[in-house]
Every structure is written in structure tokens, then in C-alpha cells.
Copies of this chain bind each other. A is one copy, B any other.
Amino acid sequence: MPVIPSGALGALDPTSDRAVFRQIADQLREAIDKGRFSEGDKLPSETELVEHYGVSRMTVRNSLSVLQGEGLVFSEHGKGVFVRPRPPVRRLASDRFARRHREQGKSAFTVEADAAGSHPTVDNLEVKEERPSQDIATRLGGPRRVLARHRRYLLDGRPVEFATSYLPLDIARGTQIAEPNPGPGGIYARLEELGHRLDHFEEEIRARMPAPSEVRTLRLAAGVPVIHLIRTAFDTGGRAVEVCDTVMAADAYVLAYQLPAT
């Protein structure tokens, strides 16, 4: 029985130079783009596509793997291949570290999540002294060892980012910053109490495909890149007092910045 919605998918063009698996991928992609399959919908099964197009199963699978690589669909073993829904995105505003927010005593992540009606969680918290990578050391002015605060953030149970903050030992050792819970307002509030009044932050943003370990940590679907953000905090003396290295699931974020025109 032909279970493919009538008209949803056309026929192959045998005269075309385009590879068969690409033609099939094109037709499926177009059907998704035009809403003939909606978010969460199940695509025709591999067997159905094999019958519809009269090709071998490997060819069909090749087509589907193209769409997976583009992040358009995901597969579930024993169930089917589905159109990937666009998850809700978290918007990071450029004033998210403004003192006025900090002074209300909550962390930036928690404040935003609450505002968006989501349930935030922090996970895998680990605080320890480490030897920093060359890059981190350079940004902090070259210390041999640093305090590292590792953690993972989840939104409604979904891991969306993991991050590590690095701080010079001469600033952080023995303070509340070296405790798992740094207290109200987070480590930036503690830094200011310790006399390091914050002046500005610098952020560097890259995007790339995730390493396998990042796929596991963020439970990333195929075809989802990561945003790699490195933020350095400077005090009013011009010293770099913290570097925060963050990897985010790109489908969960939009970053917003405001730039002066002057």
C-alpha cells in the first residue's frame, strides 16, 4: 500500500546529471520546506521510499543522511525519521552581566531562564585548581595555575551549554569563589567585593561542528553546530580577572549585542 501522501513526493528525473540520492534528498527537503511535512512529522519509512522511487535501500538511506547532516531531520531507531522541530531559543542580551542585574542576587542564567518561564538547572559542578591551557593562560596574563569552575546548564532538563570559568589563584584562592556555591550575584559579585570592580567584558564568538565529547555532553542531534564563546572580564585596573569558556548548542541560542556607533 502506498502510504506516501499523494503529491508530496514526485518522480526521479533519469535524464538528470544529479545523483539519485540527491534528487530524493531535494524532494524531501522541498516537501519539508513547503510544509507538506511539518515539525515532528514522520517521513515515509525507508521501505516506502524504496518502493516509491524504485531504488535500493542504501540509496534512500544516503538521501536521509544528507538531510540529517543539514539538521533537517532526526531518526529514532525502530520508530522512523522525523522532521526536527525548532527548539525554543534562549536570547543572550549584551547587558546580561550589567551590575544592575547582578545586584539583584541571582545568576545571569537563572534570571533569564525564569524570565522566559523555563526551569533552569546547573549540573556537573566542579571547582578545582588546574594548569590552564596556553590560550587561557595568555588571556589571564600567564599564570601557571588557575582556579577552574566547570559546570553544565540545562533548561527544562535539556543540556544547552557547558562552561568553565578560569580565575587567577591570587584572586580566587581561599575566597567564596573557590566554593561550589559562590553566593548571591555569582562570582562577579564576589570579584567586586574583593576590590576588582569590573570595567568591561570582551567576548569572542566562533561556530563549528561539535567534537564527539561535546555531542555527548549537550546531547546534540546530528547537524547541530556549537557556538563557542570566550569571555574575558577586565577590572577597572585593566587586569583580566576571569576567562569564561562556553560551548553552547547552537539551536538553543541567539546572541544579541548592542554596539555604539561612535
Contact = CB atoms under 8 A, between A and B. Distances in A.
A212 interface: yes
Nearest to A227: B207
A254 B204 contact: yes
A50 to B, nearest CB: 17
Contact of A71 (B98, B208, B227): B208
Contacts of A203: 256-259
A200 B94 CA distance: 13
Interface in A234-258: 250-251, 253-258
Q: Could you say how many copies of this chain the assembly holds? A: 2
- Counting chain B CB atoms within 10 Å of each CB, the highest count among A26, A208, A250, A257 belongs to A257
A58 B71 CA distance: 23
Contact of A254 (B58, B205, B261): B205
Given A203-B256, A250-B206, A261 B198 contact: yes
A204 B257 CA distance: 7
Interface string A50-86: 0000000010000001000111000000000000000
A262 B98 contact: yes
Interface string A197-239: 0111111111111111000000000111111000001000000
A99 interface: yes
Contact of A204 (B199, B205, B208, B256): B256
B69 A222 contact: yes
Interface of A: 26, 29, 58, 65, 69-71, 89, 94-95, 97-99, 198-212, 222-227, 233, 250-251, 253-262
